[in-house]
A and B are shown apart, each in its own frame.
Chain A
Amino acid sequence: MTKKTTRRPSRAAILSFIIILAIYVLVFVAEQVLPATSMLFTVLKKGATYALVAVSMNLLNGFTGIFSLGQAGFMLIGAYVYAMFTIPVADRASVYQYFNGGIIQFTLPWFLAMILAGLVAALFAWLIGLPVLRLKSDYLAIATLGFAEIIRAVFQWKELGPVTNGSNMLRLFPNFNSFNITDADGHVVVYLSTIVPFLIAGICIGLIVLLLHSGYGRAFRAIHDDEIAAEAMGINLAHHKRMAFCISSFFAGVGGAMLAMYQTTVQAKSFTTAMTYEILLIVVIGGVGSITGSVCGSFLFVACSEWWLRFLDNEQFIGSFQVPLLRNGFRLVVFSIIIMIVVLFFRRGLFGTTELPDLFRHGRKESALK
C-alpha cells in the first residue's frame, strides 16, 4: 500500500501487498461459493463504499487538518450525477413521470458516469472552497455542513425537476448486481457484484495513498502539523487547501455514486448531516490519520451496525428466561455506547496513525508517515 523512498520494495510493503491481494482473492472466491443473499456481501459492498468515503474524509480531516463536515453533500452530488446519466433512456419516462421523462435523453457508460460524478463533486467543491476555505477550524466545519444542507435543498427544488426529478426517487440505473455475468436464461454464471466495488474502492484508495506519498501529500501533512510553519517553508496554503478539498470531494463523489449503486435508488432527503457524522465516527474509530484505519473502521462499523449486533434487536431466550432490554433499536444503543467509549478513552482509534506496512516493521512504528 505504501511506497518507500528506496527503489526496492521493502519486506513490509511486499507483505502488505500479499495480504491485500489475498483479501481480494478471498472475496472473489467467497462470492462464487456462498449464497448471494448472505449478509456478508451486503456488509462488504456497503463497507467498500464507506471505506472510500471515509478515506476521502480522512485525507481532508486527518491529513490536511481541514475539518470539513460537507461529505454528505458531495456524496449527494456524486450519487445524483451518476444516477441521472445512467438511467436507460427507455426507463426515463417512468422514473421522471412528473417531468415528462426529464431533459437528459442519453445514457453514459457506468464508469464514465462515475468519473463524471467525481468531477462534478470536485467542481462544486472548488466553488464552495472559494469562500469557505478562508475560515478556520469549527467555523469551517459549520460552513461546510451548511453547504451540504443547501445542496440538499437545491436538488429537491421542483423547478430543477426535469434534471434531478425534484424530491422524487431516482431508480432503475445500473447497480452492483448489473456486474454479474449471466447466461442467456438469466442465471448468474460469474458473480462480480462484490469484487467490482472492491476494485473501484481499491483503485481510488490506492490513488489517494500515492498522492499522500507525493510532494503534495507531504505539503498537506505540513499544513496539518503547523499552518504558519508550512507557509513559512514556502507552501502555498490557499492552493494546497483548495487541492485537498477538491480531491477529497472528487472521491466523495465517486463514493456517492457507489452508494447509489449499493442502494439501487437515490433520494436527496437521505443525504443528511447524520450521514456525515457516521463517516466522521468511522474515521475516528479507525484512527484519524490512518488510511488502513479508515478502511478497517468502515468494514467494522458496517458489519456491527448491519450484521453482528443484529441479534440485539430481537428478543432472545436463554432457556425460558427472556433476556431483558432486547428489542428493536437496542443494537444502535449498544453501538453508540461503544463509539462513545472509543471517542473518550481510545482517542487514537484502532490504528492511530499507523498503516498496514508499519505493522510488519518491528519497533519502527509510524516511521512510514514521519
Chain B
Amino acid sequence: MLWNTVFPYLLSGISVGGQYALIAIGYTMVYGILRLINFAHGDVFMVAGILMVYAVASGMPLWITVPLVLIVTSLIGFLIERAAYKPLRSAPRMSVMISAIGVSYTLQNLVLYITGGLNKTYPTIPWISDTVEIMGAKTKLVTVVTPFLTVILVVLLVLLINRTKVGMAMRAVSKDFETSQLMGIRINSVISVTFVIGSFLAAVGSVLYFTNYPTVIQTSGAMPGLKAFVAAVFGGIGSIPGAVIGAFIIGIMENIIKGLDVILFKAGIISKPLGLATFSDAFTFALLIIILLVKPTGLFGEKATDKV
C-alpha cells in the first residue's frame, strides 16, 4: 500500500535526478579543469529553454529546432568562456568566480529584457510528452526516457574522455594546468571543448526538464543550477560518474521530501501535514554542508593535498 504512495515520487525523483546529472556534468568538468564554480551554467540551461520557446514559436519544424537549440546553446557556452573567463586566466580564482556571477546576472537580465519578465510556456514536444502508466502511476514519457538517455550520454562522454586525444588532453589539464601547457597541449581549445560539451548536455537537460515543468522564466535556471552543483560536489568534484550518482541521489531525496507529508500521513506516523515540502530545496544544501564537513572530496573525488 505504502509503495503506491512512494512510487510516483520516486519516479519523478529519478527523472529530475537525470536532468540534474546532465547539468552537473558541466559543473564538474569545468571545475575539474579551471577550478571555477561556473555560476552561469544554470543560466545557460535556462537560456536553452528560452531558445526552444522562441525557435518553436518561429514555426520551424521540430527536427530542426531541437538540434538548432543544442548547437546554439553550445555556441553560447563557448562564447561565454571566451568573453568572460579567458581574459582572467591569470587572475586570482575569486575574480573569475565574480565574473561568473556577473555573467549569470547578465544572462538573466538579457532574458528578462527579451521575454518582458513573463513566464513563457514551453512547447510540447511530441512523443516524450505522451502520458504513460507505469505500475499504476501516471506520468509523462520523458520521466522514463530521462534516466536512460542520461546514462547513454554519460557512457559516450566517458568514452570520449578515456579513449580520444581530446579526452586525454582534458585529463592532463585537470591534473596539472601548467605542466600540460608546457607539454604542448593547447589549453584554450581544451577549455573551449569542455564548455561546449557542458553546455550541450545542459541543453539536452533543459529539453527534458522543461517538458516536465512547463514554463520558463529568467530565474528558472538558478535553483536547478545550484542543485546540480551540489550534486557535483556530493559525487566528488571533477568526477563524472560521481556527479551523475550524486544528481540521482539528490533528485530522488528532494522528491521524496516533497511528498514526505503525504507518505508519513499514509503510513500513520503523523496525523496532520507538517508542511515539510518547504524543505525540499533546503535539504539539498544541508546535504552539501554535511558532505563538505564529513568528506570534503565527495564520494568519488581524489584527495587533494594543500601546498604552501
Given contacts A137-B94, A158-B275, A329-B109, contact A274 B292 (CB under 8 A): no
- Complex-state Cα separation, A107 to B102, whole angstroms: 41
We find that the number of chain A residues with CB closer than 8 angstroms to chain B is 48
The closest CB in chain B to the CB of A284 belongs to B98
Contact B93 A344 (CB under 8 A): no
Which residues of B have CB within 8 Å of A274?
A: 105, 108, 219, 222
Contact B102 A142 (CB under 8 A): no
- B152 contacts partner chain A, Cβ-Cβ < 8 Å: no
Which residues of B have CB within 8 Å of A126?
A: none
Given contacts A139-B292, A281-B102, contact A157 B95 (CB under 8 A): no
- Complex-state Cα separation, A346 to B285, whole angstroms: 34
Which residues of B have CB within 8 Å of A332?
A: 109, 112-113
Interface centre among A141, A153, A154, A272 (most CB of B within 10 A): A153
- B62 contacts partner chain A, Cβ-Cβ < 8 Å: no
Which residues of A have CB within 8 Å of B167?
A: none
The closest CB in chain A to the CB of B308 belongs to A228
- Complex-state Cα separation, A335 to B105, whole angstroms: 10
Contact with A along B92-110 (1 / 0, CB 8 A): 0111011101111110111
- Our pick among B37, B114, B274, B293 for the contact of A138 (Cβ within 8 Å) is B37
CB distance from A138 to the nearest CB of B (A): 5
Which residues of B have CB within 8 Å of A277?
A: 101, 104-105
- B156 contacts partner chain A, Cβ-Cβ < 8 Å: no
Segment of B16-24, B63-71, B83-91, B181-189 engaged in the interface with chain A:
B83-91
Segment of B208-216, B246-254, B276-284 engaged in the interface with chain A:
B276-284
- B240 contacts partner chain A, Cβ-Cβ < 8 Å: no
Contact with B along A329-349 (1 / 0, CB 8 A): 110110111011001110100
- B145 contacts partner chain A, Cβ-Cβ < 8 Å: no
- Our pick among B37, B87, B101, B108 for the contact of A280 (Cβ within 8 Å) is B101
- Complex-state Cα separation, A33 to B101, whole angstroms: 41
Contact A336 B109 (CB under 8 A): yes
Interface residues of B (CB under 8 A from A): 35, 37, 84, 87-88, 91, 93-95, 97-99, 101-106, 108-110, 112-114, 116-117, 219, 222, 226, 229-230, 233, 274-275, 278-279, 281-282, 284-286, 288-289, 292-293, 296, 308
Pull 19 A–B residue pairs with CB atoms less than 8 Å apart, ordered by A: A131-B293, A143-B289, A146-B286, A150-B282, A154-B282, A159-B275, A272-B222, A274-B108, A274-B222, A277-B105, A281-B98, A327-B113, A333-B113, A336-B109, A339-B105, A340-B84, A340-B103, A344-B99, A347-B91
